[in-house]
Amino acid sequence: MDPNRPPVPPGAARMPWLPPAAGRGFMIDPPPLGRARGLALAAAEPETGRGRGRASAAASEPPVSPFGRGISLPVPEAQVGIARGMLPPVEEKGLGRARGSLSTSLEPQVGMGRGASLFMEPLAEPVPPVKSQMLQLPEAVSGLQEERVEEKKTPEKFEVDIPDPGSSLVSMIRELGIEPSKSWGRGAAPMGRGSVGGLAAAHQSLVSSVGFSSVGAEEPFPEGMTLRGTSFVGRGMVGAGRAPVSPVGFSRGPIASPELPPGPITPPPVSVALAGPPPVPVETTVAPVKVEAAREPLKKAGTKGNSITIGSNYIPIRCKNEAVFQYHVTFTPNVEALSMRFGMMKDHRSTTGEVVAFDGSILYLPKRLDEVVHLKAERKTDNQEIDIKIQMTKVLPPHCDLCIPFYNVVLRRVMKIVGLKLVGRDHYDPSNAIVLGKHRLQVWPGYSTCIKETDGGLYLGVDVSHKVLRNDSVLNIMGVIYQQSPEHFQDECTKEFVGAIVITRYNNRTYRIDDIKWSKSPKDSFTLADGSETTFIDYYRKNYGITVKEIDQPLLVHRPKERSKPGGKQIITGEILLLPELSFMTGIPEKMRKDFRAMKDLTVHINVSAEQHTHSIKQLLQNINSNPEALNELQRWGLEISPEILMTQGRTLPMETICLQSASFVSSSSADWSREVVRDASISSIPLYCWAVFYPRRAAEQAEELVTMFGKVAGPIGIKLERPIRVELRDDRTETYVKSIQSQLTSEPNVQLVVCIITGNRDDLYSAIKKLCCVQSPCPSQAINVRTISQPQKLRSIAQKILLQMNCKLGGELWTVSVPLKHLMVIGVDVHHDVSKKKRSVMGFVASLNSLLTRWYSRVTFQMPNEEIINGFRVCLLAALQKYYEMNHSFPEKIVIYRDGVSDGQLKTVEQYEIPQILKCFETFPNYEPKLTFIVVQKRISTTLYSYGGERFGTPPPGTVLDHTVTNKDWVDFFLMAHSIRQGCGLPTHYISVYNTANLTPDHLQRLTFKMCHLYWNWPGTIRVPAPCKYAHKLAFLSGQYLHSEPAIQLADKLYFL
């Protein structure tokens, strides 16, 4: 437990509806929760349909019926009430009544809200009936009040007219299926917002459907408003995240402040829909086409290439429940404390059943209760009797997005039941730990699992994962560091520990170390949640019976990300201090990473083949499916996990033809052309007339041999090579290198290339050389570790590779593939983050300059943490366009941007914020409107592809693409495995087309991407990501890790960073 937090984990108290793990899960991992909420709200859609359905029924049926229904469920009430404005007077009455069920205090606002919306309406969307209806407004309001009075007298009456639940369920589900309900939300949203917040200005009709839905979801429950206000922060953010126009989305936060009663939300398009008798067709005509398309399955399937049977680490999940029911729970008089609410609900398990998901106001059950259930509870603080009203608000299809968080909670429990331990976010099996005693670490095999909904339905994604845990406490390691370098002790510790993840002796949490407080010790005291002071020593003794042995250790600092707790009430801030003695390191030690031999010991266990991968997954599935307790747990939400992994059809894209200067050849099936590139001349080579080699005296021999070998192999590649200036250094100190290079560059300004032969893995020396040659005295440079050129039998191929690399750095072009698009610019973007997070992030930007895609322009920008990447991006893009114009005397007509390092959660931000800014960037040039395709590149994904043949799983060949079933339902996306796999598993890269005005078809997107994966000149074969991304990555890494500043602009048109 963190000393800075109350001794009882807050998560536990907040989420008693979930087991402890669940509570924690939610806290640790807000995105799923946030998403769940957002989606939850989005799921208001079916209701809208429902409301409409009723209203239209009302048009043909006696008015009693809609009235009764309207009362029975609050959401439709409001919708219908809204609709009234547009409907013939007959409806008005019944609907007015429905509205009447809202509480008194709301009345004025209701009127106001409506008024506002009506006035705004013509601006937004001129709907003819509106004006005539405006006149009826006062009447409507008064009528409403009358009805309310009447309603109070006879409350029981409403219970009578409850519609047959079965039929309403059917209709709801039908509506959900048929209707493009998002369109509804979109159109409605501006009005809703306007009326709620009086934001008449917010008339962009691009407000998110989710945004609307959440407003809609708030609205029917006036009594619960205060509470919902508390949890609103979270929702508001979600709404914003998903909203197409985020600024508007954000403005919703304040609107929904607790004091604000829910205004009626008046969606004009729906009103129109209501007016027409056949609901569905009218709806479709009203809905904006764009939205409609979004609702249809996206066209993302390509056709090129050969079909191939592939498997993936997705396991189909079947939902056997007919539905999941959402209820709204109100406490009268209001109960503020969430924990008390949870407690009261817990006492009524006999009614709700054991399977409950409850967040304090919204309750989900896999079972149907009556429409309204009243329960009694006693508030212990004052013996006040509390009425708990549980009112059904939604019937959700069981695979609904909204339910996925509960399923994931269930899944976590199942993982525990089958004996796995949670470490960080994933589950591991300590009983099968691999112990590497030599390195004092253990590797725990395990799984990273997640239930998600994709184009193909509900799946359990399982990835095989390994956790490296170390047997030593941080204090132990500090001791070792002290022995090794007492003089740089603190610096070394910072290097070793900051950024590392530790677990503690007393809980299962993981913490990232952000800092070390040398001035503190366990003798210091801190304030507990109850306000009392205690020392760390006492705290651990009292709470965990742990005696701190070393009382003079510094403390480790973890700074949690600022985020709101579930419920949005409190922001977690401040520092958590940990004792090195009680903290244990996880992950591969930095020193070990550099130790090739040690890493081999480790990777043997970690890099699993496709066969092992699928075996592990099947093992897990078998463990789950043969464990009655686990099955029972799944059964509670009606889930059934298939015993088999997903098998489907993918495609292998056609092989590409690689073109050298005159030779061309088709890429082999292993996508490797290392032989070909050294046999024939590259597209263009820069003759090396004047270059210098720097080497320490003891590497003189190797240097001489390398230069000789260069001369032998340069011919076939097509490089003209003069003898270099040779500079022998008297020692291999960094200053010696730097001084010699500097004086050489000054005395001989025509030096085209600096080659340094260095001994050992010396980051500081490398950094110094690169800083000098990339920033201070711009000149392409090549550093060569003496070890790589020390083996005579390998020297030839090494020399060839280095020569090719040097040619690239000088501005030569090696090979290309044909891209049948004219006036195209391809851009790659990647961001390098410093591990310790103290330094700025670096964005690398690389843009193609010619039609062969062989000339590249590169830029780097630094940004502070939290600074938007897009600001720097604009500068780079403008510079690249200008450069393109210089070279081609025209601007590119099509621009394809590959952007690496965007998570799923940021996609909307990219779409709504970055892309508009990019488009704005083009306005800098008169009459310039290029077509833009923006593709997000995700490498770190948990999807794995397997080939399948002869009863065995293997790795699929390069060019394998999968564009259905496991793809994201919200975007045009595909998985492409471009590289050839030597060991391990087939990890494809995920590409998401976020924006595509170039109208590239799925085939084009896939093939262009595959082609781009052929163009990384440091590797004669295909790579995992498009070459521009890889170049951008290299550049950002070099700048962030070694240069710490922007490289000289003179180098921008060369691949000096390779």
Partner 1 sequence: MCRNGSDRMAALFSPPLYLQRYQFVIEYVKRFIPRKVIDLGCADCGLLRKLKFHRNAIEVLAGVDIDCAALRERVNALAPLTIDYLQPSPRPLTIELYQGSVTEREPCTQGFDLVTCMELIEHLQLWEVEGFSNVVFGYMNPCAVIISTPNVEFNPLLPGLRGFRNKDHKFEWTRAEFQTWALGVCMEYGYSVEFTGVGVAPGQNRDVGFCTQIAVFQRDAGVSNGPVNNAVQMEPTVYRLLYRVVYPSLCDNNIFQRTLVCQVLYRAESLKREFELGEQSMQSDLTACAHSLPPDVVAGSTVVYRHRSHVFVPLQHVWTDPKVQALCGNIHRLRQALMDDSRVQLDTDRDAIILPDEGEEEEDEEETGECEEGNLTPSPVVDNSEEDWETEIG
Closer residue to partner 1 (CB): 110 or 658:
658
Least distance from partner 1 to the Cβ atom of residue 249, Å: 33
Amino acid in position 158: F
Least distance from partner 1 to the Cβ atom of residue 381, Å: 5
DSSP code string of 482-533: HHH-STTHHHHHHHHHTT-EEEESSSS-EEE--EEETT--TTSEEE-TTS-E
Least distance from partner 1 to the Cβ atom of residue 442, Å: 7
Longest dimension (CA), the chain: 104
Closer residue to partner 1 (CB): 242 or 1004:
1004
Closer residue to partner 1 (CB): 153 or 597:
597
Quick check: 274 and 87 in contact, CB under 8 A? yes
Closer residue to partner 1 (CB): 156 or 354:
354
Closer residue to partner 1 (CB): 255 or 998:
998
| Among the listed residues 999, 1034, 1013, 988, the one whose alpha carbon sits nearest the alpha carbon of residue 898 | 1013
Quick check: 650 and 311 in contact, CB under 8 A? no
CA distance 476 to 588: 16
CA 1018-671-711 angle, to 5 degrees, is 40
Closer residue to partner 1 (CB): 57 or 528:
528
Closer residue to partner 1 (CB): 140 or 699:
699
Least distance from partner 1 to the Cβ atom of residue 422, Å: 9
Residue 2 CA neighbour count, 13 Å, CB half: 20
Interacting residue ranges for partner 1, rule: CB under 8 A:
12, 16, 19-21, 306, 340, 349, 354, 378, 380-383, 416, 421, 423, 430, 433, 435, 437-438, 440, 442, 469-471, 503-508, 530, 532, 543-546, 584, 596-597, 654-657, 666-670, 672, 674, 787-788, 794, 797, 801, 818, 820-822, 982, 998-1001, 1003-1004, 1019
Least distance from partner 1 to the Cβ atom of residue 879, Å: 27
Whether cis (ω within 30° of 0) applies to the bond prior to 333 is yes
Closer residue to partner 1 (CB): 52 or 439:
439
Closer residue to partner 1 (CB): 433 or 738:
433
| Among the listed residues 688, 1008, 1015, 1013, the one whose alpha carbon sits nearest the alpha carbon of residue 856 | 1015
- Burial class of residue 368 (count of CB atoms within 10 Å of its CB; 0-12, 13-18, 19+): middle
Give the single-character DSSP code of 337.
-
CA distance 306 to 310: 12
Closer residue to partner 1 (CB): 10 or 190:
10
Chain centre distance of CA 541: 41
* Catalytic residue from among 336, 731, 868, 886: 868
- Residue 125's SS3 state is coil
CA distance 582 to 580: 5
Coarse DSSP helix, strand, coil percentages of the chain, rounded to the nearest 5 percent: 45, 20, 35
Catalytic, 550? Answer: no
Least distance from partner 1 to the Cβ atom of residue 533, Å: 13
Beta bridge partners of 381: none
Pseudo-torsion of CA 411, 412, 418, 423, nearest 10°? Answer: 150
- Backbone dihedral angles phi then psi of residue 266, each to the nearest 5 degrees: -115, 100
Quick check: 577 and 520 in contact, CB under 8 A? yes
* Catalytic residue from among 359, 813, 900, 973: 900
- Could you tell me the CA-to-CA distances from 991 to 221, 347, 845, 975 in Å, in that order? 41, 49, 18, 6
Least distance from partner 1 to the Cβ atom of residue 453, Å: 27
Quick check: 862 and 842 in contact, CB under 8 A? yes
CA distance 848 to 1053: 10
- Residue 551's SS3 state is coil
As a three-state string, the secondary structure of 710-754 is HHHHHHHHCCCECCCEEEEECCCCHHHHHHHHHHHHHHCCCCCEE
| Among the listed residues 42, 70, 78, 97, the one whose alpha carbon sits nearest the alpha carbon of residue 168 | 70
Chain centre distance of CA 1043: 29
Least distance from partner 1 to the Cβ atom of residue 203, Å: 34
Least distance from partner 1 to the Cβ atom of residue 625, Å: 21
- Could you tell me the CA-to-CA distances from 744 to 727, 752, 755 in Å, in that order? 9, 12, 12
- Burial class of residue 468 (count of CB atoms within 10 Å of its CB; 0-12, 13-18, 19+): buried
Least distance from partner 1 to the Cβ atom of residue 337, Å: 9
CA distance 442 to 471: 7
- Backbone dihedral angles phi then psi of residue 583, each to the nearest 5 degrees: -115, 140
Least distance from partner 1 to the Cβ atom of residue 1038, Å: 18
Closer residue to partner 1 (CB): 318 or 505:
505
Q: Which residues contact 362 (CB under 8 A, 6 or more apart)?
A: 40, 326, 327, 328, 329, 393
Closer residue to partner 1 (CB): 525 or 543:
543
* Catalytic residue from among 219, 463, 496, 830: 830
Quick check: 680 and 716 in contact, CB under 8 A? yes
CA distance 935 to 367: 43
Closer residue to partner 1 (CB): 19 or 165:
19
Least distance from partner 1 to the Cβ atom of residue 763, Å: 17
Catalytic, 1033? Answer: yes
Least distance from partner 1 to the Cβ atom of residue 260, Å: 31
Catalytic, 156? Answer: no
Catalytic, 830? Answer: yes
Which positions are annotated as active-site residues? 830, 868, 900, 1033
